[in-house]
């Protein structure tokens, strides 16, 4: 445990408690505020569902079958979802919330050690009390966790440079960062080492010493070990999605420097008001560098980390503001140091009171934004409509009926705890016109009605509205939802009729069914080519699966043993 020092305005354990309380407050505001499942929750949620229901730990897929992101965030979100067995906003956001807290704690520790306790405290609070942190603490995107892994690797690089610590930690943490969002993490974490030639010219020379051999081998083993396993599972599809679609695609989608002015403006806005103090600190360390060698080296390391990252994101054409999250930590540390100078005349008691007031003001501002202002957002209102339809379905039959999804948004499947490919309007019409019960969720009901034709009677069983007009409808060829009758669904090219069973997850290659005594599943391949289909039963008490190649038009009937 860290011991208190004379310059500590608050005991270290109390600072960590404060940071945890502030982060928890932000997390609670976001969780209880306006819900938006259309930002990236459907994408990450699909990854987690694929792991929970399909066991795809090595290479999870989204609802479209894409595998364009490394798996670390999906793994952590899945661990958070395991206790309930369902994908919830809490499970999706918890890794980012903990990552935000951990990053703030690291900033406090680094600032306290090299800049002073007051700088460390104010730097950590600067990181938390801004719009970026409020967004990051409850995001289903990779950037919050990525910021933590980059920060950890950058701190390891600085210690290896200044203190002669092992470079193995840097490469190990760089591997973790790569498994979070790709190899750019290595670039960002090592960018601060551009300060080495700067120190050589204008300060005390600090050469890079130590061996990288073990660290690089560990990095390659972890990163390429996972990639080899994932490639074996997903094949060329992984390379197309992750390398060409995501990494290369974002780098060449437009001409470089096309929006070079956007990232600097985004930083000033997302880190306001503390970004002003960071800018002052950045200028000060150039004009008046610290006399102490270690302090000056850290100043310059933070400067290079921030500006190299800002330049990188200004060059690439993909300019989403959240990409800047990994360069917020060095700026927050410099802002905290500048704030410490500005508040030097304040007593520790007054400093704590002022910081508490800032926390209250920030909490009120974020509370207003996420509980009132964003209620008018289109994606929030669509989420409300999705939740409303899901409640109607679950109140009628719980999770005991199989649905076919046509043009509906994936967040509805996420709420209903299912994951399956969308059926075409023609396939939905085929189901509704057959003898077996069929229940279809659709957004464009008029189109479905035209495709079905006048000879089939459709019953509207549930509906949710958006902006005062019908948005999503559940329609069927029966007047009531009935889980006792055989129900037919379309999933890709396979028509599945279940009697007493419920599909938990269906892809074009695998059917996972929840077991019920005496239940059966009848599958028909309606594609023009043969399909390999694997069937697994949940809660069957037995391991393994059944697999069969279905020729075009062939039928396969299976039942749990």
Tell me what the pLDDT averaged over the chain comes to: 88
Which residues fall within 8 angstroms of residue 309, CB to CB, at 6 or more apart?
Answer: 188, 191, 324, 326, 327
Has residue 435 got a pLDDT over 60? yes
Token digits of residue 325: 């999250």
Token digits of residue 500: 């007493």
Give the model confidence (pLDDT) of 187-213 as tens digits.
999 999 999 999 888 877 778 888 999
Q: How far is CA 157 from the centre of its chain?
A: 26
- Per the model's pLDDT, the better-predicted residue between 483 and 331 turns out to be 331
For position 368, what pLDDT does the model report?
Answer: 96
- The backbone torsions φ and ψ at residue 35, rounded to the nearest 5 degrees and listed phi first, read -95, 130
Which residues fall within 8 angstroms of residue 141, CB to CB, at 6 or more apart?
Answer: 39, 40, 44, 96, 322
Does residue 273 have a cis peptide bond before it, meaning omega lies within 30 degrees of 0? yes
Q: Which range scores top for mean pLDDT: 397-401, 422-426, 491-495, 535-539?
A: 422-426
- Strand-pairing partners, residue 502, are 514
For position 270, what pLDDT does the model report?
Answer: 95
Give the model confidence (pLDDT) of 87-125 as tens digits.
999 999 999 999 999 999 999 999 999 999 999 999 999
Task: Give the whole-angstrom CA distance, residue 222 versus residue 180.
Answer: 12
Sheet containing strand 487-491, edge to edge, reads 487-491, 494-499, 520-525, 555-558
Task: Give the whole-angstrom CA distance, residue 259 versus residue 277.
Answer: 25
Task: Give the whole-angstrom CA distance, residue 7 versus residue 113.
Answer: 11
Mean pLDDT of 334-356: 94
- Strand-pairing partners, residue 470, are 465
pLDDT-derived band at 336, boundaries 50, 70, 90:
very high
| Residue owning tokens 């949710």 | 464
Do 186 and 178 touch, CB atoms closer than 8 A? yes
The full DSSP string for 279-297 is HHHHHHHHHS--SSHHHHH
- Per the model's pLDDT, the better-predicted residue between 431 and 172 turns out to be 172
Give the model confidence (pLDDT) of 34-58 as tens digits.
999 998 899 999 999 989 887 889 9
Instruction: Read off the DSSP letter of residue 545.
Output: -
For position 519, what pLDDT does the model report?
Answer: 75
Task: Give the whole-angstrom CA distance, residue 470 versus residue 462.
Answer: 11
Q: What interhelical angle do 425-432 and 445-452 show, nearest 10?
A: 60
| Residue owning tokens 């699909």 | 46
> H helices within 328-405, ranges in order?
328-342, 348-371, 378-397
Task: Give the whole-angstrom CA distance, residue 27 versus residue 78.
Answer: 19
Task: Give the whole-angstrom CA distance, residue 365 versus residue 421.
Answer: 41
DSSP-derived pairing of the beta strands 520-525 and 510-514:
unpaired
Has residue 218 got a pLDDT over 90? yes
pLDDT-derived band at 493, boundaries 50, 70, 90:
confident
Nearest to residue 287, comparing CAs of 270, 276, 310, 303?
303
Task: Give the whole-angstrom CA distance, residue 411 versus residue 43.
Answer: 9
- Strand-pairing partners, residue 459, are 476
pLDDT-derived band at 251, boundaries 50, 70, 90:
low
For position 171, what pLDDT does the model report?
Answer: 97
Give the model confidence (pLDDT) of 116-126 as tens digits.
999 999 999 99
Has residue 543 got a pLDDT over 60? no
Give the model confidence (pLDDT) of 299-320 as tens digits.
999 999 999 999 999 887 667 8
Task: Give the whole-angstrom CA distance, residue 44 versus residue 63.
Answer: 10
Burial class (CB in 10 A: 0-12, 13-18, 19+), 466: middle
For position 160, what pLDDT does the model report?
Answer: 95
Nearest to residue 507, comparing CAs of 78, 86, 68, 54?
54
Residue 36's alpha-carbon distances to 27, 75, 84, 364, in angstroms, are: 14, 22, 21, 20
Angle 299-301-307 (CA atoms, 0-180°, nearest 5)? 100
For position 1, what pLDDT does the model report?
Answer: 45
Has residue 258 got a pLDDT over 70? no
Instruction: Read off the DSSP letter of residue 528.
Output: S
* 1-34 b/e (C-beta count within 10 Å ≥ 16 → b): eeeeeeebbbebeebbebbeebbebbbebbbebb
Helices then strands, counting H and E runs in the chain, come out as 22, 12
For position 402, what pLDDT does the model report?
Answer: 79
Token digits of residue 221: 């083993």
Nearest to residue 94, comparing CAs of 181, 28, 150?
28
């Amino acid at each position: 445990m860290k011991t208190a020092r004379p310059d500590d305005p608050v005991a270290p354990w109390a600072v960590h408690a404060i940071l945890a309380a502030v982060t928890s407050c932000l997390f609670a505001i976001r969780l209880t505020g306006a819900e938006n499942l259309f930002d990236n929750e459907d994408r990450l949620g699909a990854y987690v569902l694929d792991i929970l229901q399909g066991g795809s730990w090595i290479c999870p897929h989204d609802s479209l079958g894409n595998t364009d992101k490394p798996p670390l965030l999906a793994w952590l979100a899945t661990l958070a979802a395991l206790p309930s067995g369902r994908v919830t906003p809490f499970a999706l956001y918890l890794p980012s919330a903990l990552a935000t807290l951990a990053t703030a704690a690291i900033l406090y520790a680094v600032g306290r050690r090299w800049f002073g306790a007051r700088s460390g405290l104010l730097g950590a609070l600067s990181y938390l009390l801004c719009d970026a942190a409020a967004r990051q603490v409850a995001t289903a995107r990779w950037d919050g966790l990525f910021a933590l892994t980059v920060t950890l690797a950058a701190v390891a690089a600085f210690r290896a440079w200044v203190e002669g610590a092992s470079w193995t930690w840097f490469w190990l943490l760089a591997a973790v960062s790569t498994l979070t969002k790709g190899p750019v993490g290595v670039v960002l974490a090592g960018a601060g080492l551009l300060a080495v030639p700067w120190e050589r010219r204008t300060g005390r020379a600090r050469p890079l010493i130590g061996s990288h051999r073990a660290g690089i081998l560990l990095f390659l083993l972890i990163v390429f070990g996972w990639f080899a396993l994932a490639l074996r599972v997903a094949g060329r599809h992984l390379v197309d999605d992750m390398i060409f679609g995501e990494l290369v695609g974002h780098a060449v989608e437009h001409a470089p420097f096309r929006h070079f002015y956007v990232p600097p403006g985004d930083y000033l806005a997302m880190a306001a008001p503390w970004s002003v103090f960071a800018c002052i600190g950045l200028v000060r360390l150039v004009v008046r560098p610290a006399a102490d060698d270690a302090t000056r080296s850290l100043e310059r390391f933070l400067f290079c980390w921030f500006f190299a990252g800002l330049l990188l994101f200004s060059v690439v054409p993909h300019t989403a503001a959240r990409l800047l999250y990994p360069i917020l930590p060095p700026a927050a540390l410099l802002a905290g140091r500048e704030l410490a100078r500005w508040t030097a005349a304040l007593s520790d008691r007054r400093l704590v009171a002022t910081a508490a007031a800032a926390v209250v003001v920030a909490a009120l501002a974020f509370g207003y934004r996420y509980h009132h202002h964003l209620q008018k957002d289109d994606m929030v209102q669509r989420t409300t409509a999705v939740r409303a339809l899901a409640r109607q379905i679950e109140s009628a039959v719980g999770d005991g009926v199989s649905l076919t999804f046509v043009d509906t948004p994936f967040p509805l499947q996420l709420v209903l705890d299912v994951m399956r490919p969308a059926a075409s309007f023609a396939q939905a019409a085929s189901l509704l016109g057959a003898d077996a019960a069929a229940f279809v969720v659709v957004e464009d009901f008029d189109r479905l009605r035209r495709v079905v034709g006048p000879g089939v009677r459709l019953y509207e069983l549930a509906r949710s509205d958006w902006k005062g007009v019908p948005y999503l409808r559940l329609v069927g060829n029966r007047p009531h939802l009935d889980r006792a009758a055989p129900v037919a669904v379309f999933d890709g090219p396979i028509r599945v009729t279940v009697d007493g069973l419920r599909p938990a997850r269906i892809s074009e290659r695998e059917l996972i069914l929840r077991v019920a005594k005496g239940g059966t599943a009848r599958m028909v391949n309606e594609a023009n080519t043969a399909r390999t289909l694997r069937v697994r039963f949940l809660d069957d008490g037995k391991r393994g699966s059944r697999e069969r190649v279905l020729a075009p038009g062939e039928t396969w009937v299976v039942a749990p043993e």
